[in-house]
Amino acid sequence: MIRSFGTTRDGAPVRAVPLGPADGLQAEVLTYGGILRQLSVPGPKGRRNLVLGLPDVAAYENDPAYLGCLVGRYGNRIANARYTYQGRTVELVPNEGVNQLHGGPGAYGRKVWRLQDFQGGADSRLVLGLTSPDGENGFPGTLEVTAEITISGGDLTLRFTAIGDADTPVSLTWHPYFNLAGDPQVAADRQMLRLRSQHFLPVGPGLIPTGALEPVAGTAFDFRRPRLATPRHNHPQIFQAGGYDHCFVLDREDTWDEAADWAATLSSPDSGVSLRLHTDQPSVQFYGGQGLASQYPDLGTGVCLEPQAFPDAPNQPSFPDTMLKAGDRYSRMMRFSLSW
């Protein structure tokens, strides 16, 4: 049953929407930020929650870690909060030093989304909508965004669509912190990670990509076989980011098959729970959650796997184009397949 989750500081009501059956995979999604507040599976001692969450709206309004929220208009970083398009420099609003992170201040993860459709039960479906106005944080054009979130069996799926009335860069993603042990006090880097990636994007100051694609083979960034997510401090990029906070370029065949292709796997030897990520995005940002200890000393630990476009692509001509043309339709998906 949909329930009240309180109100924002501006007085807007927030609702918590349950998805999934009583005996299977369940989620709770907030209309504030599209936040995945809970994701749980049955266990021998009751349900295990697999993502980090906060207790109330006020905590999410003050959250510096983007816990569980939908991210846009552009996920990750844009250098110097600006880009040049068709000879014109577009000035964005910075919110991480001189750079813009995750769409800027008060972006999609800080908005109350419209609840456009809901169906409960074993095959649950929630559709959230958001109007991102022209000029918001500097981005041109009004963008209409929908996020369709479903649970069916062991699959949690998010499908984004968007359409705008001006050319604008778009990269939408989701930002849950996973700890599949079901206990956030168990170190998240005890999880086993595998990434279908032969290259990652090295970063420079401000964690802005340098523009290079670096092979993972034989480095601390080689997750082509499952291994612990613990950072290996034998690579200068680990020191640059304080751990893992890097974009991994996904290996793709000529045609993408939603049913067969996978981007990453994550599993917990403590609980036996595992996750397989499928996405049509070109890359996955792996964040080891190293900032949580200072942001939330008592919350616990988690890692992020964020399917997205390449960070700073509007400033990197060699990266895949992220410009959504006026009137064109943006469509991207991610699916987290859980087993336990």
Closest CA to 170 of 329, 280, 56: 329
Spatial separation of the C-alpha atoms in residues 258 and 261, rounded to whole Å: 6
The secondary structure of the chain in percent helix, strand, coil, rounded to multiples of 5, reads: 10, 40, 50
Token readout for 28 is 């709770």
Continuous H helices in the chain: 57-61, 236-241, 292-295
Residue pair 286/193 in contact (Cβ under 8 Å)? The answer is: yes
Token readout for 208 is 């802005």
Cβ neighbourhood burial of 89 (10 Å; 0-12, 13-18, 19+): exposed
Per the annotation, the verdict on 199 as an active-site residue is no
Residue 77 annotated as binding site: yes
Residue 175 annotated as binding site: yes
Instruction: Determine which one of 28, 136, 175, 199 is catalytic.
Output: 175
Residue 332 annotated as binding site: no
Per the annotation, the verdict on 306 as an active-site residue is yes
Residue 76 annotated as binding site: yes
Residues counted in the chain = 340
Instruction: Determine which one of 28, 136, 199, 306 is catalytic.
Output: 306
Instruction: Name the residues annotated as catalytic.
Output: 175, 306
- Residues comprising the binding site for beta-D-galactose? 76-77, 175-177, 245
Which residues are known binding-site members? 76-77, 175-177, 245
